[in-house]
Amino acid sequence: MDRTTPIPVKLENRPLVESVVIDLPAPSLSDNTADLDRLTLTLARMGFSPVRICPRRMDETVRKMRSQGLVFRAVLGYAGSHWELLDVIDDSSGATVFGFAVDLGTTTLVLRLIDISGRKTVGQITINNPQSKWGEDILSRILFARSRHTLLELRAALLEACSHAMGQLLKDSGVEASSVYAVSCAGNTAMSHFFWGLDPSHICREPYLPAANTFPAAFASELGFDFLPASLLYLFPNVGSYVGGDVLAGVVAADLANSVQPRMLIDVGTNAEVILGNREWLLACAGAAGPALEGGVVERGMQAFPGAIDRVRIDRKTLEPDFRVLGGGKAAGICGSGLIDLVAEMFFAKILTIQGKFSTQLDCPRFRNTPDGRAYALALPSQTADAQEILVSEIDIGVFLKSKAAMYTILSVICRKVGLDFADLEDIYIAGNFGKHIDPEMAVRIGMIPDLPLDRYHGIGNSSLLGASMLLCDRTLLAEVEKVRSMITYVELNVNVELINEFRGALFLPHTDPRLFPSVRP
């Protein structure tokens, strides 16, 4: 998180929540319009129309208006078809309103507290998704949540974890819960169902039906966030069972749907999703490329958190490695971008052959023989937190190469679907925690991503969280999201001969066809 970078939005002064000073015309015998009607008429003249006031809040609203002598701040939340009057506060309170952006990930939940008026991040927390207790993979959870009872159990765990993290963020920043007026969430389709309390059981069986793809703006308290009495909650819609609100949020964050030239968004999380398109069309596909790239399947792999090795350089002569540990200190493991660097450097140092095997001709001081076969000692006991060497085995590398090949294959296939060459792609956004740390030069060197000028690659971090954050600061995105949703076509990657050949070629370093990677010269 970078607190100094403002949330990037196209339209300034169009936040999802507006806090405006109201000075109502004084009532008189000749103008004895009812108080609430006086307010809604005044708001309509200011451009807020229609305004809805929740029945249970009407009396409180009138009493607050009267106690403020009809001069006060009205806080209004945009709900697409109408504005919701969220609060009436003291005129002197200032215009600052807050919101939460939430990325509902399968593995981790990321919550961000945002000063909506100032478009600034106030704080951010990443926590493990407590639903992992019922299964690391989403399918186990869907199976578990078949009954209403077990669904609510999963949901309660999720809400409780979110509420707790929100409370922590508020405490750390000294912001009152009563100043939070919006919660903007995005997750994949299953997570969206868990979050809203909808039966997910049909998502994973033919013909793959979500219970709902769209969710109305609702009061956060109505959905279980009792400590946020005046807050609206927005959940990004899904395109379908395979393309969720997290992807939609990413597409909006990368602004794919307003570009003349084709752009691509590569989102590597628990799964890998690729979206390609421009202002006229959008294609989405998904693949299981993720876990390895996030460091998940490597023996000593880990996510890009403090302690992870995220940068590796290998001396071409001594074959000794040099690396960077996130957050400094001793190394605990290696994350995805570290792994990319490692393989790319081993390849250029000729420790690895183009087949991804350890060289048999090289006498490398870091080679080790282990019960699982040969391994490369990236870190020595003196450099690690547990005083054990960090070893990367040939098997680890084999698994990793399958992931990188899967990624490249997906990119090739989706481009070929629409008759595009990689060279036609003007901008490629790499999202996910992985995308934030990746060095495109290294990723190109191993043949994971196309050999294009490096300035076409942009790491945008957690694009789901970014999209959710941007919505808080730019309400025009509510309509943009609907537009994007209707534009996206999901492409099923059928396992056929063409795909398998593509994949086989991509298993090499960088590829069996060197013409695809002209800039890669070991």
Tell me what percent of the chain is helix, strand and coil, each rounded to the nearest 5.
35, 25, 40
Question: Hey, what are 454's tokens?
Answer: 């490096």
Q: Binding of a copy of itself at residue 205 (CB under 8 A)?
A: no
CB distance 512 to 409 below 8 Å: no
Contact string (CB under 8 A) for a copy of itself, positions 283-322, x = contact:
----------------------------------------
CA dihedral 123, 127, 130, 135 (to 10 degrees): 140
CB distance 289 to 406 below 8 Å: yes
| Of the candidate residues 184, 188, 238, 337, the single one contacting a copy of itself (CB under 8 A) | 238
Q: Binding of a copy of itself at residue 50 (CB under 8 A)?
A: yes
Closest CA to 377 of 437, 302, 300: 300
Q: What is the DSSP letter of 131?
A: G
Query: Please, which of residues 136-155 interact with a copy of itself by CB under 8 A?
Result: 148, 151
Element (H, E) at 138: helix 138-144
| Of the candidate residues 3, 10, 66, 504, the single one contacting a copy of itself (CB under 8 A) | 66
Q: Of the two residues 283 and 428, which places its CB atom closer to a copy of itself in the complex?
A: 283
- Region binding a copy of itself by CB under 8 A among candidate stretches 234-242, 320-328, 364-372, 411-419: 234-242
Q: How far is CA 371 from the centre of its chain?
A: 38
Q: Binding of a copy of itself at residue 486 (CB under 8 A)?
A: no
Q: Binding of a copy of itself at residue 77 (CB under 8 A)?
A: no
Q: Of the two residues 162 and 302, which places its CB atom closer to a copy of itself in the complex?
A: 162
Q: Of the two residues 208 and 281, which places its CB atom closer to a copy of itself in the complex?
A: 208
Q: Of the two residues 153 and 199, which places its CB atom closer to a copy of itself in the complex?
A: 199
Q: Of the two residues 154 and 507, which places its CB atom closer to a copy of itself in the complex?
A: 154
CB distance 120 to 473 below 8 Å: no
Q: Binding of a copy of itself at residue 86 (CB under 8 A)?
A: no
Helix (H, G, I), strand (E, B) or coil at 163: helix
CB distance 162 to 127 below 8 Å: no
Q: How far is CA 15 from the centre of its chain?
A: 21
Q: Binding of a copy of itself at residue 229 (CB under 8 A)?
A: no
Lateral strand order in the sheet of 488-490: 457-461, 427-431, 263-268, 272-277, 282-287, 488-490
Give the DSSP letter string of 13-79. Answer: TB-SEEEEEEEPPPPBTTB---HHHHHHHHHHHTT--SEE--GGGHHHHHHHHHHTTTEEEEEEEE-
Closest CA to 517 of 444, 456, 429: 444
CA pseudo-torsion sign 511, 513, 518, 522: positive
Q: Binding of a copy of itself at residue 52 (CB under 8 A)?
A: yes
Q: Of the two residues 5 and 81, which places its CB atom closer to a copy of itself in the complex?
A: 81
| Of the candidate residues 25, 167, 216, 522, the single one contacting a copy of itself (CB under 8 A) | 216
| Of the candidate residues 20, 218, 380, 478, the single one contacting a copy of itself (CB under 8 A) | 218
Q: Binding of a copy of itself at residue 58 (CB under 8 A)?
A: yes
Kindly state the greatest CA–CA separation across the chain: 100
- Region binding a copy of itself by CB under 8 A among candidate stretches 60-68, 92-100, 168-176, 458-466: 60-68
Q: How far is CA 485 from the centre of its chain?
A: 17
Q: Binding of a copy of itself at residue 324 (CB under 8 A)?
A: no
Q: How many CB atoms lie within 10 A of CB 324?
A: 15
| Of the candidate residues 49, 128, 214, 519, the single one contacting a copy of itself (CB under 8 A) | 214
| Of the candidate residues 93, 132, 150, 213, the single one contacting a copy of itself (CB under 8 A) | 213
Q: Of the two residues 163 and 353, which places its CB atom closer to a copy of itself in the complex?
A: 163
Give me the least distance between CB of 387 and a copy of itself, in Å please: 51
- Region binding a copy of itself by CB under 8 A among candidate stretches 16-24, 34-42, 133-141, 285-293: 34-42
Q: Of the two residues 95 and 209, which places its CB atom closer to a copy of itself in the complex?
A: 209
Q: Of the two residues 213 and 259, which places its CB atom closer to a copy of itself in the complex?
A: 213
| Of the candidate residues 183, 185, 223, 410, the single one contacting a copy of itself (CB under 8 A) | 223
Binding site for a copy of itself (CB under 8 A): 27-29, 31-37, 50, 52-53, 55-56, 58-59, 62-63, 66, 81-82, 148, 151, 196-199, 202, 206-216, 218, 222-223, 238, 240-241
